[in-house]
């Protein structure tokens, strides 16, 4: 993706009458410039762009970045200010969701009054919302590793094995298959711990009659996978089975309505209403999903508060759940890409009720 090919960025330039946009957030830097390191500033101009970094990253930047690369000595912000002033920019946008107040104050002091700032927050969010073909290839590759790794750890799901042992084996398997890093701290939540939507794996042992929720993912070329499976260890009681069936129905029903142009709040409502009608509305406290890409949680949020519509090329999760304190919980999650015709699943672990026979 070249920065001026990006429609969102072009629109911001015009709408805000900008001469340049200063990008500090690493995912946006990677997306726009190609730089995969962890320190640098990208200055996108109307006709030319420059990337500023220090000696640690200079040769990497010269290889990766499709723009002028400028080496900073000592004070990087001073170098940024000099670059802004030497280009004669009068009005410059800044990603306000990433830059701290302290950094902004320092930059303002270095630049002086000759330049007007435009703080960009909501306007920049859609920047990475619609994925390119190359991005989809990486997202699919990451999702495929989830499938393979899960198959390899499935025989471990027995009473007595700890949640941590499962999480560690999943991590090892994903990395052996080529995953770059964990997409987040894996959730392995069994029995009553299933009531914790973000119950990271603990030393608790799995027991017969419990549900266990596994939420995990890896990274390929910087792109994340995200998927949640809930399994039954032996026979579970009718109440838990009923909760599972409701969550699966909510998940499947949401998938069915996905198409470009659909209001995201309506998508959330489809799943939420199914869970509410069965009497569990108060036990589904989080949004239905989120965008996935260079960050594990990114635009668009899939929630009742969204004012956005689905667009072909967006990659989102669908992950309804029910969590009941002192009882347990269920979450079922797939990552999908919105297509012109509807959607395609990237994740592929089967989600129907699965009981590990003991
Ligand atoms: Mn998720």
Q: Residues 222-280: pLDDT tens digits?
A: 999 999 999 999 999 999 999 999 999 999 999 999 999 999 999 999 999 999 999 99
Q: Is the pLDDT of residue 183 over 60?
A: yes
> 149 with 80, same domain?
no
Q: If you measure from the C-alpha of residue 347 to the centroid of ligand 1, how many angstroms do you get, rounded to a whole number?
A: 12
Of 114, 100, 127, 123, whose CA–CA distance to 29 is shortest? 127
> 211 with 75, same domain?
no
> 201 with 303, same domain?
yes
> 78 with 214, same domain?
no
Model confidence, pTM: 0.95
Q: Is the peptide bond before 300 cis (omega within 30 degrees of 0)?
A: yes
Please say which residue of 127, 146, 176 terminates a domain: 127
The tally of domains found in the chain comes to: 2
Please say which residue of 70, 101, 127 terminates a domain: 127
Q: If you measure from the C-alpha of residue 39 to the centroid of ligand 1, how many angstroms do you get, rounded to a whole number?
A: 27
Please say which residue of 70, 104, 127 terminates a domain: 127
Q: If you measure from the C-alpha of residue 112 to the centroid of ligand 1, how many angstroms do you get, rounded to a whole number?
A: 43
Q: If you measure from the C-alpha of residue 288 to the centroid of ligand 1, how many angstroms do you get, rounded to a whole number?
A: 9
Q: Is the pLDDT of residue 161 over 80?
A: yes
Question: Confidence band (pLDDT; 50, 70, 90) for 40?
Answer: very high
Q: Residues 252-266: pLDDT tens digits?
A: 999 999 999 999 999
Which two tokens mark 108?
Answer: 């303002």
Q: If you measure from the C-alpha of residue 217 to the centroid of ligand 1, how many angstroms do you get, rounded to a whole number?
A: 9
> 80 with 154, same domain?
no
Q: Is the pLDDT of residue 93 over 90?
A: yes
What's the CATH number where 103 sits?
3.40.350.10
CB under 8 A, 24+ apart: contacts of 210-214: 210/236, 210/328, 211/236, 211/240, 211/244, 211/328, 211/329, 211/330, 212/157, 212/163, 212/188, 213/187, 213/188, 213/189, 213/329, 213/330, 213/331, 214/150, 214/166, 214/170, 214/186, 214/187, 214/188
CB under 8 A, 24+ apart: contacts of 72-79: 76/41, 76/52, 77/103, 77/106, 77/107, 77/110, 78/110, 79/52
> 66 with 199, same domain?
no
> 145 with 250, same domain?
yes
Question: Confidence band (pLDDT; 50, 70, 90) for 60?
Answer: very high
Return the pLDDT at 4. Answer: 58
Give the rounded distance of the alpha carbon of 342 from its chain centre. 21
Average pLDDT over residues 312-319: 98
Q: Is the pLDDT of residue 81 over 60?
A: yes
> 53 with 85, same domain?
yes
Question: Confidence band (pLDDT; 50, 70, 90) for 145?
Answer: very high
> 304 with 260, same domain?
yes
What's the CATH number where 285 sits?
3.90.230.10
> 75 with 188, same domain?
no
Domain that holds residue 30: 3-127
């Amino acid at each position: 993706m070249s920065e001026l090919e990006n429609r969102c960025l072009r629109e911001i330039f015009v709408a805000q009458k900008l001469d340049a946009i200063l990008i500090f957030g690493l995912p946006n830097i990677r997306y726009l410039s190609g730089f995969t390191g962890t320190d640098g500033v990208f200055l996108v101009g109307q006709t030319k762009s420059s990337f500023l970094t220090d000696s640690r990253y200079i040769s990497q930047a010269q290889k990766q970045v499709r723009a002028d690369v400028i080496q900073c000595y000592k004070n990087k912000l001073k170098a940024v200010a000099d670059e802004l002033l030497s280009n004669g920019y009068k009005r410059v946008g800044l990603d306000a969701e990433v830059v701290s107040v302290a950094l902004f104050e320092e930059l303002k002091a270095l630049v002086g009054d000759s330049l007007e700032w435009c703080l960009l927050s909501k306007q920049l969010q859609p920047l990475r919302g619609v994925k390119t073909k190359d991005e989809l290839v990486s997202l699919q590759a990451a999702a495929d590793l989830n499938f393979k790794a899960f198959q390899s750890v499935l025989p471990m799901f027995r009473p007595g094995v700890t949640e941590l042992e499962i999480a560690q084996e999943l991590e090892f398997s994903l990395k052996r298959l080529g995953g770059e890093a964990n997409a987040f701290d894996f959730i392995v939540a069994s029995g009553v711990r299933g009531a914790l939507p973000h119950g990271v794996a603990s030393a608790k042992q799995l027991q017969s009659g419990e549900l266990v929720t596994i939420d995990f993912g890896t990274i390929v070329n910087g792109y994340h996978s995200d998927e949640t499976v809930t399994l039954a260890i032996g026979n579970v009681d009718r109440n838990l089975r009923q909760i599972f069936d409701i969550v699966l129905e909510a998940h499947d029903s949401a998938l069915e309505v996905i198409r470009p142009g659909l209001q995201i709040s309506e998508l959330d409502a489809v799943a939420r209403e199914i869970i509410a009608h069965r009497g569990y509305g108060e036990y589904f406290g989080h949004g239905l999903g989120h965008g996935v890409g260079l960050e594990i949680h990114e635009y668009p949020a899939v929630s009742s508060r969204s004012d956005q519509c689905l667009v072909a090329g967006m990659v989102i999760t669908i992950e309804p759940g029910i969590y009941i304190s002192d009882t347990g919980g269920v979450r079922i999650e797939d990552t999908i890409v919105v297509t012109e015709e509807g959607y395609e699943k990237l994740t592929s672990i089967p989600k129907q009720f699965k009981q590990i026979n003991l």
